[in-house]
Amino acid sequence: MADSMPSVPPDRFTALRGAALLADPVLNKDTAFSPEERRELELEGLLPAAVEPLELQVRRVWDGFQRQDGALARFGYVSALRQRNLTLFHRFLEDHIEAVLPVVYTPTVGAVIEAFSHTDLPGGQGLYLTPEHLPQLPELLRRAAPQGVDLLLVTDSEGILGIGDQGIGGIHICQGKLSVYTLCAGLNPERVLAVTLDVGTDRPSLLSDPLYPGLRRRRLRGEAYDAVLDGFVDAVAAVFPQAFLHWEDFGSPQARRVLDRYRHRLPSFNDDIQGTSVVAAAAVLAGCRGQGVRLEDQRIVIFGAGTAGCGIAKRLVRLLELRGLSNEQARARIWAIDRQGLLLEGQEGIPPAAVPFARPAVEGDGFDRDPEGRIGLQEVARRVRPTVLIGTSAVAGAFGRDVVEAMAGATGQRPLILPLSNPTALAEATPGDLLAWSGGRALVATGSPFPPVRHDGRERPIGQCNNCLVFPGLGFACVAVGATTVSEEMIDAALAALVEAIPASRDADAPLMPAMAACQTVGAAVAEAVALAAVRQGVARLAGTEQQARACLDRARWSPTYPRLRPIMGAAQAAP
């Protein structure tokens, strides 16, 4: 439930009448229209007689939600609500965070995306742009958002969650994350836009599926791909010059390159690189602080050197450097494992982003190798005795008993184990197994939600390393203060705010992440920290002081409450 009742919004004026008004999800109030509004806005006879408060509407929606059979049905139910009544949708999500957030966001959204071509689930609204649209992009953006846009959430759908290339189905992850922006931070849902860049797909099942509604041709690469991205960013800069770009689920060949290419053109953020790295690093820092051990003394193994894994490694290196280590010393605390096994200098096929984390080739001489010549996770665990193990591999069950037992017996401290791959079926291990194999010593946080685990007669809540604890507050702060860039110092501030909110930072037996029910409190703390950091760096266009930054945050924060609607006299529109 919300911590406090939202303030009453100012009156709004509309030229819409009757059925046209009921068809507008931004202004529609369903049974909450007052008798005066019904009379003035030509709604009499179009609604049931009862005039109901928002709280009663939420209760009815909750009853209907509970009657739905399965996660996909529940997704369709709440998505239909979002398309009909935006205020009621967001209030329902706010009042039932722990039940509804996993439906509109991870893990359910992964199943929704996979079923995109073969279900009629609502909720895929947004802008679908193809290379053929390049000459029209400015006009298409204006049509899609005539009211203006503060934030665009953009994907090319090549690296969706742990399920890879999903074509235009990625629009659902954009919609889900926009809902999370509003829930956790208060971003105005009327001023956001979901965009999928349909540059083709390399998934054979989509290319051969007559029901797939996107472009059925191979993905653009090279200069042709860059031309689409350049044209899109140019159009956004022309039409919405102050907008914030959230890049989402780009494949590992593109994600870092796209972020670096445009981050100085418009304020940009890649959640898979930056958001995941902040959440994972915050869990590691909190776990170290709760145990009274130093980050610089840890031996960190990252299993999966793709976009997320390399982002985490880079973030940890930065944190180690801030603690006085050289770049070389910081990188020496990290062992990265990918398809080639332990990454060693000179190996072929190392992803470009992972090259800085390859160990000196000579180190490989002391390790046993599998028949393909690879140094696997089990061997690394046996020889390195890691104190921190992070999984971003999408290899289900990769963290086996031998690996966990090697960690549990490594030192006097408790091992930190983060199986972050999602959806749930792709997790590297389950919390129950990790606690059982470590004798209850492991400190665990996961990428997908897991129920509490009972061990040694007590219940252990499992923290979820959910990016919704970072990106909403960060993006909202940038919009609110008009940040002209997203600096590393601003991301550092978001990380520090999250660490302070993690229970394990004060008690090693507590969860490694805040409960999802606290996401609004955490979002507010992250937003304030980021806004103040932007002011200190002189990149906050709308705020020159910390007091002004806080005022900007208060003014920008949207809440799910109904305004009093008043007619614009003489401008009534006919019902469609």
Q: At residue 513, what are phi and psi to the nearest 5 degrees?
A: -145, 150
What does the pLDDT read at residue 570?
Answer: 55
Residue 410 has pLDDT above 80, yes or no: no
pLDDT tens-digit readout, 46-58:
999 999 999 999 9
Residue 4 has pLDDT above 90, yes or no: no
Residue 177 has pLDDT above 50, yes or no: yes
Residue 124 has pLDDT above 90, yes or no: no
Residue 567 has pLDDT above 90, yes or no: yes
Three-point CA angle 419, 172, 58, nearest 5°: 95
pLDDT tens-digit readout, 362-386:
999 989 999 999 999 999 999 999 9
pLDDT tens-digit readout, 349-360:
898 889 999 999
What does the pLDDT read at residue 445?
Answer: 97
Query: Are 250 and 280 spatial neighbours (Cβ–Cβ below 8 Å)?
Result: no
Residues with a known catalytic role = 105, 177
Mean pLDDT, rounded, for 15-24: 97
Three-point CA angle 488, 229, 270, nearest 5°: 30
Q: How far apart are CA 424 and CA 417, in angstroms?
A: 16
Q: How far apart are CA 407 and CA 389, in angstroms?
A: 9
3-state SS assignment for residue 4 = coil
Residue 449 has pLDDT above 90, yes or no: no
Mean pLDDT, rounded, for 86-109: 94
Q: How far apart are CA 346 and CA 296, in angstroms?
A: 27
CA-based torsion, 490, 244, 121, 216: positive or negative: negative
Three-point CA angle 147, 100, 185, nearest 5°: 45
| 8-state DSSP, 89 | H
This prediction has a pTM of 0.93
Give the Å distances, CA to CA, from 499 to 10, 276, 289, 505. 36, 14, 9, 7
Chain center to CA of 342:
28
Mean pLDDT, rounded, for 326-333: 97
pLDDT tens-digit readout, 238-257:
999 999 999 999 998 899 99
Among 67-76, 162-171, 215-224, whose mean pLDDT is lowest?
Answer: 162-171
Confidence of residue 149 (pLDDT cuts 50, 70, 90): very high
What does the pLDDT read at residue 78?
Answer: 97
What does the pLDDT read at residue 575?
Answer: 37
What does the pLDDT read at residue 7?
Answer: 61
What does the pLDDT read at residue 5?
Answer: 47
Q: How far apart are CA 357 and CA 335, in angstroms?
A: 7
Q: Which two tokens stand for residue 35?
A: 């008798």
Contacts of 289 (CB under 8 A, 6+ apart): 499, 504, 505, 506
| More reliable by pLDDT, 20 or 119 | 20
Identify which of 30, 81, 84, 25 has the alpha carbon closest to the alpha carbon of residue 54: 30
Q: How far apart are CA 490 and CA 471, in angstroms?
A: 12
483 CB-contact burial (10 Å; exposed 0-12 / middle 13-18 / buried 19+): buried
What does the pLDDT read at residue 424?
Answer: 84
Share of residues in the chain with pLDDT > 90 (%) = 88
Q: Dmax of the chain from CA atoms?
A: 84
Q: Which two tokens stand for residue 405?
A: 């037992």
What does the pLDDT read at residue 120?
Answer: 81
Q: What's the chain's average pLDDT?
A: 94
What does the pLDDT read at residue 571?
Answer: 43
Residue 70: count of CB within 10 angstroms of its CB: 10
List strand residue ranges (DSSP E) for 69-129, in order: 127-129
Domains and CATH numbers, the chain: 1-97 (1.20.1370.30), 274-465 (3.40.50.720), 469-556 (no CATH)
